[in-house]
Amino acid sequence: MPTLRVSRFCFAPLLVMLSAACFAQAPVPEPVTDQETELGQAVYKQLRDKVEIIDSSPLYDSLKPIADAITRVAQSRYPHPFKFFLVHEAQPNAFATPGGNVYVVDSLLYFVKNTEQLAGTLCHEVSHTIHRDGIALMEKEKKIEEREVAAAILLGPTRAHIIAIALIGKLHQLGYSRDAESKADVTGSDICAGAGYNPWGLPWLFQDFQNADISQIPQLLSDHPANGTRIQTLEKHFQDNPSTFSKFDHDPKSATPFSVSKDAPVIFLRAETKGGK
């Protein structure tokens, strides 16, 4: 036994060094423990099979401090660990799935002008998970889905796999109701405020949409006629809760500029590299 104990202590510093060296890497998904993580895993595998998940990139160094701060505040409100993955898609976007995984499209990091806008988007996505909006979205269209699932299962894939494909589609086409979006904005602003990020970041992002090329607007946040309402809902929430929000400056000039190298190298996750079962 003493030998074992010695070798364990010898390895401890090495492990610390290794984890520091792996700082710019994607997290490992949670093992499946229930329906939510099963669905989350199925989406993860689907994205991995499409070679969209970025396994390693210096971009993670920019994302991680913000994701960690948000997780510290939000984690007590959801039973599975939040994990943030970078994915590569043409349009700036972010989406969250049941089970705690949050996907951030790399081009969103190029689109946002400041840390508060990025934090606001991540707080919003985490809130969809806390509210279980993804699960509700799938249940809403259960009848159609049941037919699709029944037909597809005959062809071989698992039920979770089929639902995952449907969910990815929905998450990419403004599947949530405006009410669900506004609620995610409000909860997200509470989380961002708790994490120390100015919750005006999201209204600033909506305002920037007005001037942006439509193809560059993050899809989940581009519900245009409703953006004004969403800003008003947030402003009212800020006014109604001055003890939380009055300390934050509404002027975008007070924002913390955010920029990442445009030519950051990325290595994509492939089935054989990690979590590939």
Q: Would you tell me which residues interact with Zn ion (CB under 5 A)? A: 181, 184, 220
CB of 21 to Zn ion, least distance (A): 35
Beta carbon nearer to Zn ion, 57 or 129: 129
Beta carbon nearer to Zn ion, 134 or 275: 134
CB of 221 to Zn ion, least distance (A): 7
Residues 91 and 89: their CA atoms lie apart, in Å, by 6
CB of 250 to Zn ion, least distance (A): 22
∠ at Cα 262 (261, 268), nearest 5°? 95
Helix (H) or strand (E) holding 53: strand 53-56
CB 184 within 8 A of CB 127: yes
Instruction: Look at the block and give the residue holding tokens 């993955």.
Output: 85
Beta carbon nearer to Zn ion, 38 or 181: 181
Residue 250's CB: how many other CB atoms inside 10 A? Answer: 13
CB of 22 to Zn ion, least distance (A): 31
Instruction: Look at the block and give the residue holding tokens 């104990």.
Output: 5
Residue 84 in 3-state DSSP?
A: strand
Helices (H), 112-158: 115-130, 133-140, 142-154
CB of 6 to Zn ion, least distance (A): 52
Beta carbon nearer to Zn ion, 26 or 220: 220
Instruction: Look at the block and give the residue holding tokens 């990020």.
Output: 197
Which residues neighbour 105 within 8 Å (Cβ) at sequence distance 6 or greater? Answer: 86, 87, 88, 89, 91, 92, 93, 94, 218
Beta carbon nearer to Zn ion, 133 or 145: 133
Beta carbon nearer to Zn ion, 202 or 255: 202
Which residues neighbour 58 within 8 Å (Cβ) at sequence distance 6 or greater? Answer: 24, 260, 261, 264, 265
CB of 30 to Zn ion, least distance (A): 22
